[in-house]
């Protein structure tokens, strides 16, 4: 079952496209990393999947065949927006009570137990918690709804390394215990490299690459060889990133066949997931800006 599936999904605001022609399928059980620079369309995509905004063009379904925002989708998805959305003037206990009353399903016992394990007191006001504790509170409230898909929009922003590690450990535990699927947007590439098994890269509002990370790594190589021969080699291959010094060139390429396309005098090296993310973020094809609505109309 695909927990996320989109076909030509697009969203424009006034004259500009925030997301364009996004076709994507993520099957259940993955922790999918959503990566992109600021303005790449990540939050727009997440908001459409959560049913908070409607697309301009294209379609999306979640949890198999549920339209975003439908009763079935709302019951099965938990969404944690940026900046740990908690009411800072309410106590932790009040946040539990409020969230339980706003949802048809809420595991209060699980939430209390998780907060106790984290050392977060129920009587303390949410605004008096540390940034890491506020993020953990928001995550606890989301997980207590027993979702099948958890959508997280930049939950690691502003957290120190220990808080980031603890947050991700909670997510991984929930995946193991409850069979949860996760879509996680973040700029923290080292953490994503450590926990994600599926990658979605957006660049300037377009999908640059998506797939299981092991498959993507198997399909990409860095070729190193003489810079004087780089143009000839690049014309024969699908080059994602081209880096050159005076004497040597490094070409990150996508392999179309079963064997490494290693030209004579060149060497082939594997890539890691962080290198792959950065390469697609910098790729010229994915970095071109989307046309404005006026230009699109003029082209017609």
d(C-alpha 193, C-alpha 175), whole Å: 17
- Give 51-94 pLDDT, tens digit per residue: 999 999 999 999 999 999 999 999 999 999 877 678 989 999 99
Task: Write out pLDDT tens, residues 26-42.
Answer: 999 999 999 999 889 99
Could you give all domains of the chain from N- to C-terminal order, each with its CATH number? 2-210 (3.40.50.300), 214-287 (3.30.70)
Q: Which of 140-149, 154-163, 196-205, 219-228 has the lowest mean pLDDT?
A: 154-163
pLDDT above 90 covers a percentage of the chain that reads 72
Q: What is the reported pLDDT for 284? A: 63
Label residue 283 by pLDDT band (50, 70, 90). Answer: confident
What is the SS3 string spanning the chain?
Answer: CEEEEEEEEEEEECCEEEEEEEEEEEECCCEEEEECCCCCCHHHHHHHHCCCCCCCEEEEEECCCECCCCHHHHHHEEEECCCCCCCCCCEHHHHHHHHHHHCCCCCHHHHHHHHHHHCCCCCCEHHHCCHHHHHHHHHHHHHCCCCCEEEEECCCCCCCHHHHHHHHHHHHHHHHHHCCEEEEECCCHHHHHHHCCEEEEEECCEEEEEEEHHHHHHCEEEEEEEHHHHHHHHHCCEEEEEEECCCEEEEEEECCCCCCCCCCCCEEECCCHHHHHHHHHHCHHHHCCCCCHHHHHHHC
pLDDT beyond 80 at 300: no
Q: Which residue has the higher pLDDT, 253 or 84?
A: 253
Residues 6 and 22: beta-carbon distance below 8 Å:
yes
Task: Sheet containing 16-27: give its strands across.
Answer: 16-27, 2-13, 57-62
Q: Considering the chain, what percentage of its residues have pLDDT values greater than 70?
A: 93
- pLDDT(101) > 80: yes
Chain segment 191-241, per-residue pLDDT in tens: 898 999 999 999 989 999 999 999 999 999 999 999 999 999 998 889 999
């Amino acid at each position: 079952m695909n927990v996320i599936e989109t076909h030509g999904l697009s969203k424009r605001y006034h004259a500009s496209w925030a997301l364009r022609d996004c076709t994507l399928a993520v099957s259940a059980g993955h922790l999918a990393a959503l990566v992109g620079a600021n303005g790449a369309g990540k939050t727009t995509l997440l908001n459409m999947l959560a049913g908070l905004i409607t697309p301009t063009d294209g379609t999306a379904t979640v949890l198999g065949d549920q339209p975003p925002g439908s009763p079935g989708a709302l019951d099965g998805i938990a969404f944690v927006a940026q900046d740990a959305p908690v009411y800072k003037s309410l106590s932790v206990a009040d946040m539990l009570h409020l969230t339980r009353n706003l949802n048809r399903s809420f595991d209060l016992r699980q939430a209390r137990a998780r907060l106790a394990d984290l050392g977060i007191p129920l009587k303390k006001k949410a605004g008096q918690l540390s940034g890491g504790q506020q993020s953990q509170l928001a995550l606890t409230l989301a997980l207590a709804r027993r979702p099948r898909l958890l959508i997280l929009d930049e939950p690691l922003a502003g957290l120190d390394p220990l808080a980031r590690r603890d947050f991700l450990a909670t997510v991984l535990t929930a995946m193991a215990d409850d069979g949860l699927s996760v879509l996680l947007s973040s700029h923290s590439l080292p953490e994503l490299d450590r926990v994600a098994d599926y990658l979605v890269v957006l660049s300037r509002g377009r999908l640059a690459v998506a797939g299981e990370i092991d498959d993507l790594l198997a399909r990409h190589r860095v070729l190193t060889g003489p810079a004087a021969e780089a143009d000839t080699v690049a014309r024969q291959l699908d080059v994602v990133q081209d880096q050159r010094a005076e004497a040597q060139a490094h070409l990150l390429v996508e392999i179309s066949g079963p064997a490494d396309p290693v030209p004579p005098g060149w060497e082939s090296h594997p890539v890691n997931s962080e290198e792959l993310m950065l390469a697609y973020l910098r790729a010229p094809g994915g970095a071109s800006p989307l046309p404005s609505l006026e230009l699109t109309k003029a082209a017609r």
